[in-house]
């Protein structure tokens, strides 16, 4: 059964716990751009719940999210886009927990999905097909079929071959597929790591810009395709608006060409996700300005705009709570060994990503250390050469800004059960994903092979 969410997006009372410690006033904000995490004499707090209380109740490692921070980010972006005919379709891949999806549904969000699994989650969380756009460079026929049966708003098609397969699937089902062509806007983007760029020339994503018109013409010949939109996604963790501006101009130009040369009438323009959050001391993106940039370009076009924010809505709303297991020195270097590692948070080792790490209750001393996990990989670290609290075994650390692409990218490598996820709302908290058990690790495995002959 779905967990009910009240009008403020709070998870139903039955699954919530009130911390035993009385909430105290926050005195100091610890993360730039994120007031949800603050510090008082009980240490680091998420809203009005001490992180130490959550660690005591759920153990570590554990992801902790602030419902209030998600609501605030949604409201900022909603507000910034209010003078544009725009819809916010949360990008499920950033954090796909059912309670987070429900919270965002209550706020009025639609979704951007990239797989049959995300479609399953979306429908289970109470979204309807009209709330969903389906993106992705390698959709299978089964996924297309499921999406068409669910009557999604748009299928964002990324190649001419995909268009033909979708046409055949739609024919089988006796429906017309609502299509937006995902075009590679071929803009230069500055992201912290090359792996999070998508809208540059020569990447696997989208239809190459100079082929888009001919793919649009091809779609006009396919009886089960209804071309009604264009789509782009320039990349992720983007704090400048130039790539959006250039990309949007290109797509608007392309729209005019397509409408001139085919019978298609394009009503949707999906401009993707990518808005940055703060990981260190950066300035937060000025979404109001972003709204003005978009408005200046699209006003009068009659287009309905779709945004696919993932990280912006949830990134700064989460921390990964971890406990220090050991300290050691090796080769003149200090190591802080924590119970969370790359299996819990892959971003530092995969993208060399920076996440601030704060002591929940600081010792008052600092050191310079590598913060490393228990995994048998040299690349298993949360931070390198970091000036950090001189945390000792048993102390709690909070790895900041891990609400997006944290839990969702975790794995069972080294047979490590995945961490739980906890949602905080004001002075209450609830486990929204249970910690995996050892049984969960082997649940789908068949120890004695059931051989079949060919």
**Between 50 and 229, CB nearer to ligand LLP:** 229
Member of 47, 112, 167, 421 binding ligand LLP (CB under 6 A):
112
Residues 120-139 that bind ligand LLP (CB under 6 A): 135
Task: Compute the distance between CA of residue 2 and CA of residue 5 in angstroms, rounded to an integer.
Answer: 9
What are the DSSP calls for 394-452, one per residue? T-EEEE-S-SSSSGGG---GGGPPPPPEEEEETTEEEEEEPPPPHHHHHTT--SS----
Query: Is residue 46 involved in binding ligand LLP (CB under 6 A)?
Result: no
Query: Is residue 402 involved in binding ligand LLP (CB under 6 A)?
Result: no
**Between 371 and 404, CB nearer to ligand LLP:** 404
**Residues 6+ positions from 144 with CB-CB distance below 8 Å:** 155, 165, 166, 169, 177
Query: Is residue 347 involved in binding ligand LLP (CB under 6 A)?
Result: yes
CB of 197 to ligand LLP, least distance (A): 10
Member of 42, 118, 308, 339 binding ligand LLP (CB under 6 A):
308
Query: Is residue 420 involved in binding ligand LLP (CB under 6 A)?
Result: no
What is the separation of C-alpha 313 from the centre of its chain, rounded to a whole number of angstroms? Answer: 8
Residues 216-245 that bind ligand LLP (CB under 6 A): 233, 236-237
DSSP 271: -
Member of 58, 66, 91, 97 binding ligand LLP (CB under 6 A):
91
CB of 241 to ligand LLP, least distance (A): 14
CB of 133 to ligand LLP, least distance (A): 9
The overall longest dimension of the chain from CA atoms, in Å, is: 70
DSSP 204: S
Query: Is residue 305 involved in binding ligand LLP (CB under 6 A)?
Result: no
What is the separation of C-alpha 9 from the centre of its chain, rounded to a whole number of angstroms? Answer: 18
Query: Is residue 309 involved in binding ligand LLP (CB under 6 A)?
Result: yes
User: Near ligand LLP by CB under 6 A, which window of 17-25, 270-278, 280-288, 323-331?
Assistant: 270-278
Answer whether 422's CB lies under 8 Å from 429's CB: yes
**Between 133 and 216, CB nearer to ligand LLP:** 133
Member of 110, 116, 247, 310 binding ligand LLP (CB under 6 A):
310
Residues recognised as catalytic:
376
Residue corresponding to tokens 């993360």: 31
CB of 114 to ligand LLP, least distance (A): 7
Query: Is residue 196 involved in binding ligand LLP (CB under 6 A)?
Result: yes
Q: How far is CA 124 from CA 10, 94, 98, in A?
A: 18, 18, 8
> Residues binding ligand LLP: what is the number (CB under 6 A)?
22
361-370, long-range: CB < 8 A, 24+ apart: 361/43, 361/44, 361/52, 361/395, 361/396, 362/389, 363/389, 363/390, 363/391, 363/392, 363/395, 365/389, 365/390, 366/390, 367/334, 368/334, 369/333, 369/334, 369/335, 369/336, 370/333, 370/334, 370/335, 370/336
Q: By the criterion CB under 6 A, which residues form the site for ligand LLP?
A: 91, 94, 112, 135, 196, 198, 233, 236-237, 272-275, 308-312, 347, 351, 404-405
């Amino acid at each position: 059964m779905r967990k009910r969410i009240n009008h403020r997006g709070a998870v139903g009372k039955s699954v919530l716990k009130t911390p035993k410690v009385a909430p105290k006033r926050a005195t100091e904000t610890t993360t730039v751009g994120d007031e949800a995490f603050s510090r008082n004499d009980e240490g680091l707090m998420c809203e009005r719940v001490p992180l130490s209380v959550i660690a005591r109740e759920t153990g570590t490692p554990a992801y902790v999210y602030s419902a209030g921070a998600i609501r605030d980010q949604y409201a900022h972006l909603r507000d910034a886009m209010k003078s544009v005919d725009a819809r916010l379709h949360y990008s499920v891949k950033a954090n796909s927990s059912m309670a987070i999806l429900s919270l965002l549904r209550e706020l009025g969000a639609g979704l951007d999905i990239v797989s049959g699994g995300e479609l399953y989650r979306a429908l289970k969380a109470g979204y309807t097909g009209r709330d969903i756009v389906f993106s992705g460079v390698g959709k299978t026929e089964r996924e297309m079929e499921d999406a068409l049966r669910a009557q999604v708003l748009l299928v964002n098609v990324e190649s001419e071959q995909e268009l033909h397969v979708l046409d055949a699937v739609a024919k089988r089902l006796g429906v017309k597929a609502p299509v937006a062509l995902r075009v590679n806007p071929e803009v230069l983007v500055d992201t912290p790591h090359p792996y999070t760029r998508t809208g540059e020339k020569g990447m696997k994503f989208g239809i190459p810009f100079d082929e888009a018109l001919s793919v649009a013409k091809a779609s006009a010949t396919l009886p089960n395709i209804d071309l009604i939109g264009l789509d782009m996604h320039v990349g992720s963790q983007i704090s400048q608006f130039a790539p959006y501006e250039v990309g949007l101009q290109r797509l608007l130009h392309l729209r005019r060409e397509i409408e001139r040369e085919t019978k298609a009438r394009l009503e949707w323009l999906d401009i993707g996700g990518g808005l940055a959050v703060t990981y260190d001391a950066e300035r937060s993106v000025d979404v109001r300005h972003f709204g003005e940039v978009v408005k200046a370009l699209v006003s009068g076009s009659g287009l309905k705009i779709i945004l696919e924010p993932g990280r912006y809505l949830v990134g700064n709303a989460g921390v990964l709570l971890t406990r220090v297991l050991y300290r050691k020195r090796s080769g003149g270097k200090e190591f802080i060994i924590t119970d969370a590692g790359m299996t819990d948070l892959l971003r530092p080792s995969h993208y060399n990503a920076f996440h601030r790490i704060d002591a929940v209750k600081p010792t008052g001393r600092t050191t310079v250390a590598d913060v490393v996990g228990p995994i048998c990989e040299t690349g298993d670290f949360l931070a390198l050469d970091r000036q950090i609290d001189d945390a000792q075994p048993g102390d709690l650390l909070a790895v900041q800004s891990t609400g997006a692409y944290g839990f969702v990218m975790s794995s069972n490598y080294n047979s490590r059960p995945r961490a739980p996820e906890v949602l905080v709302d004001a002075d209450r908290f609830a486990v929204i994903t249970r910690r995996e058990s050892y049984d969960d690790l082997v649940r789908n495995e068949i120890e004695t092979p059931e051989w079949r002959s060919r």
